[in-house]
């Protein structure tokens, strides 16, 4: 009966895939060859050679002193990355065609690369850990720096490498590189100081060291390999932190030797995260990308309903049933999913001024950044200003058509924001009400009301022409989607075509990339439906049905049915 290595934690191979009946074991790891995998080495022949080496006579050992079990394993480790992942790291999930082929690609990569793989597809195991170990065991003079968003994440990767270099299997195969007792013998062997193996050169840099891009970036060392892994995480996604990561990534390039090899490993979280910044970096002379990008989505065709390339189908179905945006980002590697856009920019209708309804109620809205824009130690924040005309009628779904009449979305400080608000308010005629978002402890509404008062425009909450806009317990994404998705689908949102192209483009980009990008303009526009929720708009006069004389006669005839009449009396 065919056995099955590690069958207690693995799924049965798919239909049509057979397993070699012979089970071998290397470093305590059982193995059966799969018919759908093209392995780099015939591991059965390897074990035959190992068995022969074990049974050599004393005379044969003298004739072939290098032909022994450990040297056979050593030679395979140096050339076969998959062997390292499966037999050295003992990862049973690696016996899969996806991993076999991925290991071949990675071990043949010699230049700078950006490895964007779906989450849970062993990218850190294969690239950051196994490939780094293999490089060091081939050349102990290499100095590899591991960079994550913060140093503790990098230390976790370093600790796995540390544990592997402390394993007896590797120590016996590489006694000239690895220490028997590294904690006592090695020059450095700690989380803080890094790891140093046996090497000929005298370098300031450890063999392996850990660093953070948000904090903990080193100064001075020159490493042969820079490995970036988890530079984007769920916890570190604010605009400020991502900008800092991009800046420090550029700075970290000065930490390499002249022939440094840079490898970036990760998964998209959002459209504007540092991985897209790295992907788009180009040579200033040739225009060629600086990094070769390799994408490995979770499905064969990269499509939402495609077949899984590595994960069990039931696991992929479970991931599909969750947040679709996260599935597109982290499994399909598409942070701008066209098929599941929540706010379709094509549904934002452009109109000319001549096409505007004759009757509009004008509201002005401001999505601000609070008083923090005054600080000189940070970049200015984006503000969004808009004048929106509301047709004072409701359709059969209870919604009113809105028209974006004026729009500005820009980064500016508080002083410029106040000037911009006053100018927009004054140039748009009669504004029924001004709405200003309250951000934390900001006093933006006080400053703008005072600036308008100097122009003879008196606004106050008591007078009903000034309103403080608040989330009311809703998240920004939830509010934007709830307020705008329905009106967009029902063709109720319009924008003047005369609005400057830069601001139109900005709003389109926000819609296109929602919820993964900036949303200042969308946040501002979405508040219009909060402002008008208490207005009792009626049905448009043109939609009120007017009875013809025939309708009136028919209705009267119907009312006479009870007294012997009918439709015939019309």
Q: Cβ neighbours of residue 233 under 8 Å, at least 6 residues apart?
A: 149, 153, 269
β-strand partners of 410? 383
- ∠ Cα 79 84 90 (to 5°): 165
pLDDT value at residue 237: 67
- pTM summary value: 0.69
Give pLDDT tens digits for 10-28: 677 888 899 999 999 999 9
Q: Phi/psi zone of residue 216: left (φ > 0), alpha (ψ -120 to 50 degrees), beta?
A: left
Q: How many residues does the chain have?
A: 570
Give pLDDT tens digits for 230-243: 898 877 766 678 88
Per-residue burial over 329-362, b if 16 or more Cβ lie within 10 Å, else e, is bbbbbbbbbeeebbbebebbeeeeeeeeeeebbb
- What DSSP string runs through 239-261? HHHHHHHHHHHHHHGGGEEEEEE
- What DSSP string runs through 464-526? TSEEEE--TT--HHHHHHHHHHHHHHTT-EEEETTS-HHHHHHHHHHHHHTTSS--HHHHHHH
pLDDT value at residue 376: 37
pLDDT(219) > 60: yes
pLDDT value at residue 243: 84
Half-sphere exposure of 85 (CA within 13 A, CB side): 30
Give pLDDT tens digits for 488-537: 888 899 999 999 999 999 999 888 878 767 889 999 999 999 999 888 77
**Contact (Cβ atoms closer than 8 angstroms) between residue 390 and residue 528:** yes
**Mean pLDDT confidence for 169-189:** 97
CA distance linking residue 65 with residue 60, whole number of Å? 8
Give the SS3 label for residue 50. helix
Sketch out the chain's domains with CATH numbers.
1-108 (no CATH), 109-296 (3.40.50.300), 349-539 (3.30.420), 544-570 (no CATH)
CA distance linking residue 545 with residue 242, whole number of Å? 57
pLDDT value at residue 379: 42
pLDDT(377) > 90: no
Lowest-pLDDT choice from 238-242, 252-256, 403-407: 238-242
Average pLDDT of the chain is 87
Structure tokens at 355: 């096409």
pLDDT value at residue 516: 66
What is the percent of the chain where pLDDT is above 90? Answer: 63
Report H helices in 348-409: none
User: Taken in order 411, 417, 421, 422, is the CA torsion positive or negative?
Assistant: negative
CA distance linking residue 272 with residue 244, whole number of Å? 13
pLDDT(563) > 50: no
Confidence of residue 375 (pLDDT cuts 50, 70, 90): very low
Give pLDDT tens digits for 49-92: 999 999 988 888 888 888 999 999 999 999 999 999 999 999 99
pLDDT value at residue 541: 61
């Amino acid at each position: 009966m065919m056995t099955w290595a590690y069958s207690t934690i693995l799924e049965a191979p798919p239909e049509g895939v057979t397993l070699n009946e012979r089970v071998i074991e290397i470093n305590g790891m059982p193995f059966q060859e799969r018919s759908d995998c093209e392995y780099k080495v015939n591991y059965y022949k390897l074990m035959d050679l190992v068995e022969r080496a074990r049974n050599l006579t004393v005379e044969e050992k003298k004739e072939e002193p290098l032909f022994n079990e450990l040297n056979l394993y050593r030679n395979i480790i140096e050339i076969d990355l998959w062997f390292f992942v499966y037999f050295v790291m003992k990862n049973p999930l690696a016996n899969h065609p996806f991993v076999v082929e991925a290991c071949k690609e990675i071990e043949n990569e010699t230049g700078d690369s950006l490895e964007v793989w779906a989450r849970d597809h062993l990218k850190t195991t294969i690239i950051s850990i196994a490939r780094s170990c293999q490089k060091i065991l081939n050349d102990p003079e290499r100095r590899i720096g591991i960079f994550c968003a913060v140093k503790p994440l990098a230390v976790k990767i370093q600790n796995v490498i540390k544990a592997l270099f402390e394993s007896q299997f590797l120590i016996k195969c590489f006694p000239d590189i690895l220490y028997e007792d590294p904690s006592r013998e090695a020059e450095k062997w700690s989380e803080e100081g890094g790891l140093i193996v046996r090497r000929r050169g005298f370098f300031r840099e450890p063999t392996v060291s850990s660093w953070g891009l948000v904090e903990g970036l080193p100064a001075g060392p020159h490493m042969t390999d820079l490995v970036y892994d988890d530079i984007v995480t769920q916890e570190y996604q604010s605009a400020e932190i991502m900008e800092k990561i991009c800046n420090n990534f550029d700075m970290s390039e000065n930490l390499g030797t002249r022939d440094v090899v840079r490898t970036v490993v990760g998964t998209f979280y959002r459209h504007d995260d540092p991985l897209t910044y790295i992907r788009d970096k180009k040579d200033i002379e040739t225009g060629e990308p600086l990094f070769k990008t390799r994408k490995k989505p979770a499905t064969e065709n990269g499509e939402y309903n495609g077949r899984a390339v590595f994960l069990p189908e039931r696991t992929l179905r479970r991931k599909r049933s969750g947040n679709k945006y996260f599935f597109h980002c982290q499994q399909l590697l598409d942070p701008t999913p066209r098929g599941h856009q929540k706010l379709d920019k094509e549904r934002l209708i452009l109109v000319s001024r001549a096409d505007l309804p004759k009757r509009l109620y004008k509201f002005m809205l401001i999505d601000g950044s609070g008083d923090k824009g005054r600080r000189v130690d940070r970049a200015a924040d984006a503000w969004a200003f808009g004048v929106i005309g509301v047709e004072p009628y409701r359709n059969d779904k209870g919604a009113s058509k809105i028209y974006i009449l004026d729009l500005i979305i820009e980064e500016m400080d508080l002083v410029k924001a106040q000037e911009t608000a006053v100018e927009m308010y004054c140039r748009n005629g009669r504004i029924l009400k001004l709405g200003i978002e309250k951000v934390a402890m900001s006093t933006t509404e006080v400053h703008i009301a005072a600036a308008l008062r100097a122009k003879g425009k008196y606004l106050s909450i008591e007078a009903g022409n000034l309103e403080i806009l608040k989330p009311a317990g809703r998240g920004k994404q939830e509010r934007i989607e709830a307020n705008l998705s329905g009106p967009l689908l029902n063709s109720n949102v319009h924008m003047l075509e005369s609005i400057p192209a830069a601001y139109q483009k900005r709003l389109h980009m926000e819609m296109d990339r929602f919820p993964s990008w900036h949303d200042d303009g969308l946040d501002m526009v979405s508040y219009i439906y909060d402002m008008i929720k208490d207005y009792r708009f009626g049905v448009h006069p043109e939609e009120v049905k007017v009875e013809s004389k025939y309708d009136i006669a028919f209705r009267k005839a119907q009312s006479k049915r009870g007294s012997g009449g009918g439709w015939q009396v019309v």
